[in-house]
A and B are shown apart, each in its own frame.
Chain A
Amino acid sequence: MSTWFVSLWQGLPPWSQITLRSLGGIIAILVPLMVAVAYLTFAERKIIGYMQVRIGPNRVGPRGWLQPIADALKLLMKEIIIPTNANKYLFVLAPVLSIGPALVAWAVIPFTSRLVLANINASLLFVLAMTSMGVYGIVIAGWASNSKYAFLGSMRSAAQIVAYEIAMGFALVGVLMVAGTINLREIVLRQSGNVFHWYIWPLFPLFLVYFISGVAETNRSPFDVAEGESEIVAGFHVEYSGMAFAVFFLAEYANMILISALTATMFLGGWMAPFDVAPFTWVPPLFWFLAKVSVLLFFFLWFRATFPRYRYDQIMRLGWKVLIPVTLVWITLIGVVMFFTPWGHHFR
């Protein structure tokens, strides 16, 4: 039976072999990602529930485990309403533009040293370029909805994302200075060893800046002025219903997981075990990667349960006057340490 499959596979022309293999890889990433998004929403409601001394959803299925499925079904059944005088094509295009970049960036994430769909040279830049495209979905949604609230939300979001992207980019400059490569897989391999070889220690301020900017880029609280329920109803997606709304929702959560995965890759040693000794090395590398991602995701939820929303001017001040100067100073410091001090060889 297996030989039959092998001969069938080898009988295929090479271009279709490549296509099928890539397609298989894409499905193997996207299906678990969608499940993770569904259960991240469940985890969010449960965790925030317990932080607020409530129980959270517990009715659908055993202990509420089927809640995300029920939510998805409900959203699928709802009608998609297009407001009058809205720009129809752009209105429908906006959720697609929002989720597209959030999924494409997963192509270059190294799950383990061999589990990576596209091991390209410039993968760090690729991720940065793709995440910077996500803002179009939000901006277009706000404009095409023909609604003042949505428009205000998208204006806020555009200004915020442009501001925090600079800090994010500078934080990554620090990483690639130390790593000497822009290939994400190589960056993780440079951090091999134990927990003290991870880049979080020499680049601790950059780690903080990157993660804070990541929270701001994904429009999560405390930076969620783009949707600010108490001021502009739901911001850019106020006119969206049903599946169109759900796609925005999916994109936001996929972006959260993406930012966590990138932070784990660049600062927390990706799939590396914290210690290179027996009980830690028994665990498969993929587990370490997912564990790090989960811890970072927990921080996202924790922030939401803890911090009140920033005011708009506070967001701008934090981005331009605090985070960007911190990255500039630390990049300079790293450069000086690398080339003018005796312990610079640790980084080179």
Chain B
Amino acid sequence: MTFGQFIFYFFAAVLLFAATMVITIRNPVKAALFLVLAFFSAAGLWVLLEAEFLAIALVLVYVGAVMVLFLFVVMMLDVNLVRLSEGFGEYLPIGGIVAVLMVLEMTVILGSRHFGLQRFPAPAGHAANYSNTRELGMQLYTVYVYPFELAALVLLVAIVAAIALTLRRRARTKYQDPSLQVQVRRQDRVRIVKMAAEKKT
């Protein structure tokens, strides 16, 4: 076993373990943290494929931003664990059938017939100065520029929609106006009163 293979199996084992823990562990915060571990191991596997830009973007976007917000929400939920595990037996048959079907479908599609080594031979190693990032940028902004711009537009619409849905202005809420705050002079706030000194009687 070469060192690269060892690394692959190590990351793959951690990834599978973390992914299993995400769906089996009771505590939602711990589940979110295991999802972080799963993302991280997946990023490690991508680095092995010389896709360092995608790997680092996975860590940067999903681990660094999305999962932080996820954790933020999950931590604030007061989840009743007993209520969650109620009705497990009730849903087990349906869930089981769905799971078995999904496994069957995935083996049909992702099996060695379509994704085997003869279909996808290991990519040839690149020289040390090969930049995956530059290559990806070239593809994105020349060949796939229209799909890329379309995706950006869809995301923009999603942002606008999300903001429009959540933005509520209450009439009586008081806001501070920072520009007014900055312009305040001493005369607006303080009045100096001259008083004659009083004598103690």
Residues of chain A whose beta carbon lies under 8 Å from any beta carbon of chain B = 15, 90, 120-122, 125-126, 128-129, 132-133, 135-136, 139-140, 143, 151, 154-155, 158-159, 161-162, 165, 182, 313-314, 317
Contact = CB atoms under 8 A, between A and B. Distances in A.
Contacts of B96: none
A121 B56 contact: no
Contacts of A136: 36, 68, 71
Given A140-B33, A143-B29, A125 B53 contact: yes
A133 B59 contact: yes
Given A121-B52, A154-B75, 17 more contacts: A15-B3, A121-B131, A125-B52, A125-B60, A125-B133, A129-B60, A129-B63, A129-B64, A133-B63, A136-B36, A136-B71, A139-B75, A140-B33, A155-B72, A158-B68, A162-B68, A165-B65
Contacts of A159: 72
Interface of B: 3, 29-30, 33, 36, 52-53, 56-57, 59-60, 63-65, 68-69, 71-72, 75-76, 129, 131-133, 176, 178
Nearest to B29: A143
B140 to A, nearest CB: 15
B88 to A, nearest CB: 24
**3 smallest A-B Cβ distances: which pairs?**
A132-B64, A129-B59, A129-B60
Contacts of B33: 90, 140
A86 to B, nearest CB: 13
Contacts of B57: 125
User: For chain A, what secondary structure do more than half of its interface residues adopt (helix, strand, loop), or is it mixed?
Assistant: helix
A232 to B, nearest CB: 16
A140 B32 CA distance: 11
User: For chain B, what secondary structure do more than half of its interface residues adopt (helix, strand, loop), or is it mixed?
Assistant: helix
Contacts of A151: 75
Contacts of A314: 178
A15 B71 CA distance: 40
Contacts of B3: 15
A182 B60 contact: no
Contacts of B76: 155
B19 to A, nearest CB: 19
5 contacts: A122-B132, A132-B60, A139-B68, A139-B72, A140-B33
B110 to A, nearest CB: 28
Given A139-B71, A139-B75, A155-B72, A162 B65 contact: yes
Contacts of B75: 139, 143, 151, 154-155
Contacts, number: 69
A122, A143, A159, A182 pick with most chain B CB within 10 angstroms: A122
A125 B131 CA distance: 13
A125 B63 contact: no
Contacts of B133: 121-122, 125, 182
A320 to B, nearest CB: 12
A143 B76 CA distance: 9
B72 A126 contact: no
Contacts of A122: 52-53, 56, 131-133
A110 B53 CA distance: 20
A158 B53 contact: no
A154 B76 CA distance: 11
A171 to B, nearest CB: 15
B64, B131, B176, B178 pick with most chain A CB within 10 angstroms: B64
Nearest to B27: A87
B6 to A, nearest CB: 11
Contacts of B63: 129, 132-133
A162 B69 contact: yes
A122 B64 CA distance: 17
Contacts of A158: 68-69, 71-72
Nearest to B131: A121
Nearest to B30: A90
Nearest to A134: B64
A342 to B, nearest CB: 24
